[in-house]
Amino acid sequence: MEKSMKNSGIEWIGEIPYNWEIIPNKYLFENHSVKVGATWDKYKLLSLTTMGVKEKDGSVAGGKVPDSYENYQTVVPGDMIFCLFDLDCSAVFSGVSPYYGMITSAYDVYEINKKLADNLYVDYLFQYAFSNRYYKIYSKNIRYTVTTEMFKSIRTPIPPLDTQMKIGTLLSNKCSKVDKLIEVQQAQIEKLKEYKQSVITEAVTKGLDTSAPMKDSGIEWLGAVPENWSVKRAKYVATSIFKGNGITKEDIVIDGDTPCVRYGEIYTKYDISFEKCKTHTNKITVQQFFKYGDILFAGTGELVEEIGKNIVYLGKELCLAGGDIIVFRHEQNSKYMNYALYATCSQMQKSYGKAKLKVVHISSFEIGNIFVTVPSLSEQQQIAEYLDDKCAKIDKLIVLKQEKIEKLNEYKKSLIYEYVTGKKEVV
């Protein structure tokens, strides 16, 4: 027998079973913002992540660490955390906490009304809402923020409580299986990335001729290198090393005349090399551009082990670099020198002695002091061609794994949608 459905009145929900209700959030959630105050050191630090609410080590770099946590909010198991700002771009939106602890006051902490709503059901429902950024339509101002009053007025589909529990349990079982498959693919991607890094490091420190005589480089990070290679500090290889311009997020415009790169994009938008900039600006404060063959280093970052990531520009246009970018100009083979400065032995030198603070920096002076291998130009060309080929093959395997993850995530998203909106019935 076909179940009876009705219009929910919510565009992104569509039809729902006839016995489901549409209830404003003010009846489902109660805000309880309680500051931890001077006793903050008694609480575990929590973080809202893409995988839900997690415990976080406040001493580890990778996030912003305040001088004091006194203004953080208390969280108890079962509380729902919402990030109701930057709804156009935020990587996180909601999660039910399984922990006692504290979380930044930038988020909203709500207690779920247990008489009307089940934790698992609402958790999955808001995962679906975030998957297509549906709450963005309720936001205001340039930061796409949903105010408290607006949040309370937004209506949510609510099945009978026993149905919610069944949906939550079913989705927990099904999604956990999908998550395990995703974890396997992600682990394989990490292995491939490690392999790629080892291939690069081996080629730029040992060369391609396994029978070549070797010599002690005298540098701990490099070990033995081919006898006919030079080992130099990067500053003696460079023709110039200079800082970029002060380009801010606000200076980026869609139809800008000048291509540019900001330091954060080196970590998030580029791999090892690029020919086209992904952003543009009209602001030119200093007439100092980077050009073909220049190597760009991120002078600022959040992780010690990634500080100073470098990419090489292989395009034809003159471009601007952001203020936290260090530009390395040279007369070597561009691809080879970038690989050499990207290798594990170079990254270890970049990271050496850096403290795990909330923000990590590396200077032009430190970049210049990196020891790097310098073979003949002809051998640099051979190594660059070899690594281009090897890395392309590894990258192709990584893309295949990423596509599998994407398909699994799409399947998981469709599962959640079908059950939290009542399109599929829990038997």
CA distances 227 to 101, 258, 373, 377, Å, are 58, 45, 11, 15
| pLDDT, averaged across the chain | 94
- How many domains is the chain partitioned into structurally? 2
pLDDT reported for residue 421: 97
- Residues 143, 240, single domain; the answer is no
pLDDT above 90 for 323:
no
Beta-bridge mates of residue 216:
224
Residue 44: closest CA among 71, 78, 76: 76
How far is it, in rounded angstroms, from Cα 50 to Cα 299? 27
The residue ranges of DSSP E strands in 211-363, in sequence order, are 214-216, 224-226, 230-233, 238-243, 258-261, 273-274, 279-281, 295-298, 300-301, 310-313, 320-321, 325-330, 360-361
* Residue 7: Cβ within 10 Å count: 10
d(CA 345, CA 219): 10
* CATH code assigned at 35: 3.90.220.20
Taking only the tens place, the pLDDT of each residue in 65-87 is 566 789 999 999 999 999 999 99
Structural domain including 321 reads: 230-374
Q: Judge if 43 and 143 occupy the same domain.
A: yes
Q: What are phi and psi of 125, to 5 degrees?
A: -60, -45
Q: What is the b/e burial string over 347-370, where b = at least 16 CB atoms within 10 angstroms of the residue's CB? A: bebbbeebeeeeebebebebbbeb
Cα-to-chain-centroid distance, residue 92: 11
28 & 151 share domain: yes
If you average pLDDT over residues 411-420, what whole number do you get? 97
- What pLDDT score was predicted for residue 63? 46
pLDDT of residue 59: 44
| The last residue of a domain, from among 114, 142, 159 | 159
Task: Kindly state whether residues 236 and 129 are assigned to the same domain.
Answer: no
**Domain annotation covers residue 186:** no
What pLDDT shows up at residue 226? 98
Which residues, in sequence order, are bridge partners of residue 238? Answer: 330
Q: What is the pLDDT of residue 66?
A: 62
For residue range 377-399, list pLDDT tens digits in order: 999 999 999 999 999 999 999 99
pLDDT one-digit tens code per residue, 190-248: 999 999 999 999 999 999 999 999 999 999 999 999 999 999 999 999 999 999 988 88
241 and 145 within one domain: no
Write down which residue in 354, 374, 394 finishes a domain.
374
**Cα torsion through 225, 230, 231, 236, rounded to 10:** -160
Q: Check whether residue 142 and residue 252 sit in a common domain.
A: no
- The pLDDT confidence band at residue 143, using thresholds 50, 70 and 90, is confident
Q: Residue 179 burial (CB < 10 Å; 0-12/13-18/19+)?
A: middle
CB 94 within 8 A of CB 126: yes
Does some domain include residue 191?
A: no
Residue 89 within any structural domain of the chain: yes
Provide, rounded to the nearest whole percent, the portion of the chain with pLDDT above 90: 86
Q: What is the mean pLDDT of residues 289-309?
A: 95
Neighbour count for residue 425 (Cβ, 10 Å)? 12
> In the Cβ-directed half-sphere of 308, how many Cα atoms lie within 13 Å?
27
pLDDT in tens, 112-142: 999 999 999 999 999 999 999 999 999 988 7
1 pLDDT more than 70: no
Q: Is the pLDDT of residue 62 over 60?
A: no
The pLDDT value given to residue 249: 81
Mean pLDDT of 181-192: 98
Which of 331, 350, 374 is at the close of a domain? 374
Q: Over 70: is that where the pLDDT of 61 sits?
A: no
Question: Tens digit of pLDDT for each residue in 260-292?
Answer: 999 999 999 999 999 999 999 998 877 789 999
**What integer pLDDT is reported at residue 67 of this predicted model?**
63
